[in-house]
Amino acid sequence: MTYRIIDDGTYSEPVQQALEGVLAERLDEGDLEPTLRFWYRESPAVALGRFQAYEDEVAVDYVDQRDIDVVRRLTGGGAMYVEPGAVITYSLYLPREAVPDDIETSYAALDQWAIDALQSIGLEVSHEPLNDIAHPDGKIGGSAQLRKDDAVLHHTTMSYALDTSEMLRVLRIGEEKVSDKAIESAEKRVAVMRDYVDASREEIITALKDTFAERFDAEPGSLPNAVVSEARARASETFATEEWNRKL
């Protein structure tokens, strides 16, 4: 089985989420090789879980004032605040036969290569059921999945240098001033890679790519122009609309 690694392209959050659907469908139809893709974002955003209620998860006035995209993704799970350069997001698009049927087992299996890569640069991380990558001081990242007939989408977002106080303002709190106690509590729940290693975000992504390439004999690839065009159209029709993002 030939694997590809895609590590290019900067897009808005609606386009990124649209790409997930397009690429999963192409794999399901046999038109895409198994692929690892890294995300690069244009601006801060919130990735909202598929079944979450918009007003329950984000500080509506705050995100509106700052024009922060809140985009409902195709996968379940919790809301995540993301910033360009401050998080690392990767997606795996895999044939169903390459993924364990058991959900809990699959989360552990599909993030293990990333855990090994992070350990190789000195991060003390491990899998924490159901779907987290954890450091002894808190959560480094979390994963979510979408399963189709013959394809599995598995994506993971990890904190490299996330602004915890801003995260608290965006997710549910929405106040200009956040108490020291609230920030301290959040820092206990969220561990930030930069607090524990000197490696840059680019160096960490390189370690992830190298580990994946060695593990799965993967080669560099790129997104076809047709895929990007389809994702931009789908973002405009769905992922950038209030009908989709605020429907719950």
- What is the pLDDT, as a whole number, of residue 239? 98
90: domain CATH number is: 3.30.930.10
Q: Which two tokens stand for residue 44?
A: 């801060």
The domain tally of the chain equals: 1
- What is the pLDDT, as a whole number, of residue 15? 98
| Terminal alpha carbon distance of the chain | 40
- What is the pLDDT, as a whole number, of residue 233? 98
Q: What is the pTM of this model?
A: 0.93
For each successive 10 residues of the chain (248 residues), what is the average pLDDT?
94 98 97 97 97 94 96 95 97 97 97 98 97 96 96 98 92 59 58 96 98 96 96 98 94
- What is the pLDDT, as a whole number, of residue 174? 47
- Which domain covers residue 25, as residue numbers? 4-245
- What is the pLDDT, as a whole number, of residue 173? 56
Chain-centre distance for alpha carbon 88: 7
